[in-house]
Amino acid sequence: MKFLSFFVSRVGKALVVVLGVVIINFFMIRLAPGDPAAVLAGQAGAGDASYVESLRAEFGLDQPLLSQLWLYLKGVFQLDLGFSYRNHVPVLDLILERLPATFLLMSCAFLFSIVFGVLLGVVAARARYNNKRRWIDSSVMTGALLLYATPLFWLSLMGILLFSVLLGWLPAFGMESVGTHLSGWARVGDIATHLILPTVTLGCFFMAVYVRLTRASMLEVIGMDFVKTARAKGVSPNRVIRAHVLRNALLPVVTFAGIQLGQMAGGAVLTETVFAWPGIGRLMFDALLQRDYQLLLGIFLVTSIMVVVFNLLTDLLYRLIDPRISADSHGAAA
Amino acid sequence: MNPFLRRYTRNYGAVAGLAVMLVVVATALAAPLLYPESPWMMVAEPLIKPFTDPAYPFGTDMLGRDITAGLVWGARVSLLVGLLSTGVALAFGILVGAVAGYCGGRIDDALMRFTEFFQTIPQLAMAVVLVAVLSPSVYSIMGAIALVSWPPAARLVRSEFMTLKQREFVQAAIVIGQTPSRIVCTQILPNAMSPIIVSASFMVATAILTESSLSFLGLGDRNLMSWGFMIGAARTMIREAWWMSVWPGVAILLTVLAINLIGEGLNDALNPQLRKRGE
């Protein structure tokens, strides 16, 4: 029962965020200089008069602001994100077509960053705590510091320069090789090789974040009494780290993973732009170039929904890891 | 030596960061003297390789623009946007955090929901949409960066205020009848300043990264040469001219790294008791 009410309150919160983004989108169009209908049609002279007129009617631009907002909300919640005038396709269709690629990239980058981030964080914390091989700790931390300061899009470009241009090991752009009609495992392998560079470059920044978090959190937990007890009663050192320290040290990492997803969605725009990855990030870049605002706002909304859903999942995961946390104290903490 | 300086200089990374930062600031200030001509001017042959022509040590781009001039002028944009947008974000974050932390109760609840909302939505995507819709200019860029970066500041200020409010000296100020605004400005805020300063330095670093991302995507101010723009323009030339994208990236990396190191040094110097616990 308690879990159910927690779940309902979290879903409600998520819905409020989505509603907020829709309202922001609505006002964003009206912030833009010029006639909203012309803005929606695409400014650079592409909107012909009759189309602009039909838009004006559709959005009720002759009516008061509140009824305009109502019309807009109704449209969005009926999954009508508008029409991309430049591409002659409904915005939703364009986005849905690109969504799987982004989803694939983001999940891989997320897994990469959290697995390697936690792993390196544990290694660094152990080296520091045992006071043996301190160089491991300092080199991991220096690496994290450097990655922390590296612009994501530049790291992607440097990855292409090194691994595609100079070494020729990995493909520089796209998701599949052009002109080869592969199927089955050959196709999976082809996509996987295309996936390596984007995944690693997108994941690197977040990996650095998790390294620092895990290390700090481990060092805090490792000195606590229950860890000393576990050690004193003869639990093997590896098991102490795994079952006692890491399990408790992971809590802040999971909280942060939820918050970080929003940033990663933004990072995907940059990575996909550099690697011509056919996802919604690249679509956003194309929409920018074409001044296709309907599409741009649609992508912003869908990205936000994606982040909110991921957040919801990490919240549920958080409860699984630590049943002590109640729905309320989690929201108020930190 | 005063204790603040002594603790700061004990952190060698922070000293190195400060040195790099001084160079970047000096370069930014001296840009009009070093390169009086616009960095957009085509001054030499296109695609001169770096370290071959002493007049153009970092080479030229595909239009014959001097990359060194671009780097020097770009430093101004990065620092300007980084500092000003952080200033705006900090002012707003302090306001929200102070009101929430001092008032507590319903006001706190409402403000924290508001803060959480801005923390949840994808920040860079939001900044991209804002700048695109408002049309790119140095003002819309700073506004967009400020809008997406204030929430952590607000949360920090709120938690500082909540603990400081319980302390005796604040209680005493309440008892002697000081007005809330006076208590906030003269009692609480000065004591909350050190964590705020530390987090502000990290905010500047993030703002510089965000600015470069926006200009990379073609959302930079069209009148100002920036490092992100240079990398964006070099993107399609990566096979022919590696140096076009390498140098501006190194400039961003060094600047952001330097600011982060300074932030850690400030943390050591301003919060010495925290530091000891972490050791």
Cβ contact, residue pair A288, B218, below 8 Å = yes
DSSP strand pairing (A83-84 vs A89-90): antiparallel
How many angstroms away from the CA of A183 is the closest CA of chain B? 30
Cβ contact, residue pair A274, B235, below 8 Å = yes
For residue range B19-40, list pLDDT tens digits in order.
999 999 999 999 888 888 888 8
A residues 155-194 lying closer than 8 A (beta carbon) to B: 157-158, 160-161, 165
pLDDT on residue A259: 73
| Section A96-109 average pLDDT | 92
For residue range B211-233, list pLDDT tens digits in order.
999 999 999 888 889 999 999 98
| Section A100-114 average pLDDT | 92
Residue A329: which pLDDT band, with cuts at 50, 70 and 90? very low
H helices present in B165-221, as ranges: 168-175, 180-182, 189-216
* Mean pLDDT score across all residues of chain A: 83
Cβ contact, residue pair A21, B121, below 8 Å = yes
pLDDT on residue B146: 96
pLDDT on residue A100: 92
Q: Measuring CA to CA, which residue among B81, B54, B82, B78 is closest to residue B68? A: B54
Distance CA A21, CA B47 (A): 45
Q: Helix, strand, or coil here: B66?
A: strand
Which amino acid, residue A71?
L
Q: Helix, strand, or coil here: B94?
A: helix
Cβ contact, residue pair B129, A161, below 8 Å = no
pLDDT on residue A244: 83
**Most confident listed range (A37-46, A223-232, A315-324, B199-208):** B199-208
**How many pairs of residues across A and B have Cβ atoms under 8 Å apart?**
150
Please say if the pLDDT value at position B91 is more than 90: yes
Q: Measuring CA to CA, which residue among A334, A149, A146, A202 is closest to residue A256? A: A334
Residue A242: which pLDDT band, with cuts at 50, 70 and 90? confident
A334 touches chain B (CB under 8 A): yes
Helices A293-321 and A91-130 cross at an angle (nearest 10°) of 40
Q: Which two tokens stand for residue B136?
A: 């790119």
| Section A161-173 average pLDDT | 88
H helices present in chain B, as ranges: 3-10, 12-34, 67-103, 105-120, 123-134, 138-164, 168-175, 180-182, 189-216, 227-234, 242-270, 272-278
Distance CA B34, CA B76 (A): 13
CATH number at residue B238: 1.10.3720.10
Q: Is A134 within 8 Å of A128 (Cβ atoms)?
A: yes
For residue range A125-153, list pLDDT tens digits in order.
888 888 778 888 889 999 999 998 999 99
> Best of B24, B123, B128 to disrupt the A interface by mutation (most A CBs within 10 Å)?
B128
Cβ contact, residue pair A311, B238, below 8 Å = no
Q: Which residues in chain B are closer than 8 Å to A275, comparing Cβ atoms?
A: none
Nearest to A288 among B116, B124, B132 (CB): B132
C-alpha count within 13 angstroms, C-beta hemisphere, residue A314:
24
| Section A199-227 average pLDDT | 89
Q: Is A12 within 8 Å of A266 (Cβ atoms)?
A: no
Distance CA A16, CA B110 (A): 13
For residue range B104-139, list pLDDT tens digits in order.
889 999 999 999 899 888 889 999 999 998 888 999
Residue B278: which pLDDT band, with cuts at 50, 70 and 90? very low
| Section A5-24 average pLDDT | 88
| Structure-derived torsion over alpha carbons of residues B92, B93, B95, B96, reported in degrees to the nearest 10 | 110
User: Which residue of chain A has the CA closest to B254?
Assistant: A149
How many angstroms away from the CA of B219 is the closest CA of chain A? 9
For residue range B251-275, list pLDDT tens digits in order.
999 999 999 999 989 988 887 765 4
How many angstroms away from the CA of A189 is the closest CA of chain B? 25
**DSSP letters of A27-45?**
HHHHHSSS-HHHHHH-TTT
Q: Which residue has the tokens 């109704």?
A: A74
For residue range A58-87, list pLDDT tens digits in order.
767 777 778 888 888 888 888 888 777 777
Give the ipTM of the model, two decimals please: 0.89
Q: Helix, strand, or coil here: B118?
A: helix
Q: Which residues in chain B are closer than 8 Å to A165, comparing Cβ atoms?
A: 238-239, 242
Nearest to A308 among B120, B249, B256 (CB): B120
Please say if the pLDDT value at position A238 is more than 50: yes
pLDDT on residue A325: 57
Q: Where is average pLDDT lowest: A16-20, A158-162, B272-276?
A: B272-276
Distance CA A219, CA A236 (A): 18
Provide the greatest CA pair distance for chain B: 74
Q: Which two tokens stand for residue B56?
A: 């153009």
* B261: containing domain: 3-276
* Mean pLDDT score across all residues of chain B: 89
Distance CA A264, CA A210 (A): 13
Query: What total number of domains does chain B contain?
Result: 1
pLDDT on residue A324: 66
For residue range A269-321, list pLDDT tens digits in order.
999 999 999 999 999 999 888 888 888 889 999 999 988 888 888 888 777 77
pLDDT on residue A320: 75
Distance CA A35, CA B22 (A): 47
Which amino acid, residue A3?
F
How many angstroms away from the CA of A232 is the closest CA of chain B? 23
B121 burial type by CB count under 10 A (0-12 exposed, 13-18 middle, 19+ buried): buried
User: Which residue of chain A has the CA closest to B156?
Assistant: A334
A residues 3-32 lying closer than 8 A (beta carbon) to B: 16-17, 20-21, 24, 28-29, 31-32
Q: Which residues in chain B are closer than 8 Å to A266, comparing Cβ atoms?
A: 122-125, 127-128, 213
Nearest to A154 among B239, B249, B278 (CB): B249
> Best of A26, A81, A154 to disrupt the B interface by mutation (most B CBs within 10 Å)?
A154
How far CA A242 is from CA of A142, A231, A248, B278, in Å, comes to 25, 12, 10, 22
pLDDT on residue A328: 45
Cβ contact, residue pair B122, A39, below 8 Å = no
pLDDT on residue B86: 96
